[in-house]
Amino acid sequence: MPIENKVALVTGGARGIGLGIALQLAEAGFTLVSSGRRPVEQAQAALDSIRERSNSSIYVQADVSIGTDRARLLLSVEEQLGRLDVLVNNAGIAPRVRADILEGREDSFDELIATNLKGPYFLTQAVSAWMIRQRASQAAVHRAIINIGSVSATMAGTNRGDYCISKAGVAMATRLWAARLAEFGIGVYEVRPGIIETDMTAGVREKYNALIESGLLLEKRWGTPEDVGRAVRILATGELSYATGAVLVVDGGLSVERL
């Protein structure tokens, strides 16, 4: 099936890394569905940039941490576009306050887990069922579920333990869904970014500027949403085959162990 006849859903797809992903998939030819917690008016500039690159795109206001929102999101996609071929679980949040794990609050933990882990997990469950139904009539179509993780899945940050735990959960969820969905021809992958320049990292920009300057990364620059988007594009289009369960690390060499 030509890419231009396929539909991709990017949660959190109207800002930051999600927008970088959406733009790359739009350029590849996908019909784009972006979702986010903001009303459409606040996301309009991003949506206009997507539509400049895509023949067709829609936006659905939805919070992935809420079950009724997830159901409404998928119903909107089905009613308006009739199919779904690629899910990118990108929506996520950072802690409202970076707190030492000796002092971290339970409400912050609950919010991080609900948004970053529970939401994508159950959205994947619902989308998988839909993709399996679609397979009955179009078995040969490439379908993919792509989770946006973080190097924080394996690198301990004791002032944001809730975030690290949520991303470690995403890493295991990727492996679980890859194992469960392989029989249905659905590829499941994780893209694991490092230090990416977005509004989420604005508060720690000076800190990481200094660390990058002092040699933290092999590639001496901030990553960009476009860098992550290109990795997702490879997976979404099926250009990387025979690789379900794979983790693509996009971190400028941050996680390379060195002496």
Question: Residues 6 or more apart from 243 whose CB is under 8 A from it?
Answer: 187, 189
Record the tokens describing residue 165, joined without a space: 């735990």
Q: Is 163 a catalytic residue?
A: yes
Of 59, 163, 189, 242, the catalytic one is: 163
DSSP one-letter string for the chain:
--GGG-EEEEETTTSHHHHHHHHHHHHHTPEEEEEESS-GGGGHHHHHHHHTT-S-EEEEE--TTSHHHHHHHHHHHHHHHS---EEEE------SS---TTT--HHHHHHHHIIIIIHHHHHHHHHHHHHHHHHTT-TTS-EEEEEE--GGGTS--TT-HHHHHHHHHHHHHHHHHHHHHGGGTEEEEEEEE-SB-SGGGGGGHHHHHHHHHTTSSSS-S-B-HHHHHHHHHHHHHT-S-S-TT-EEEESTTTT----
Instruction: Please identify every residue annotated as catalytic.
Output: 163
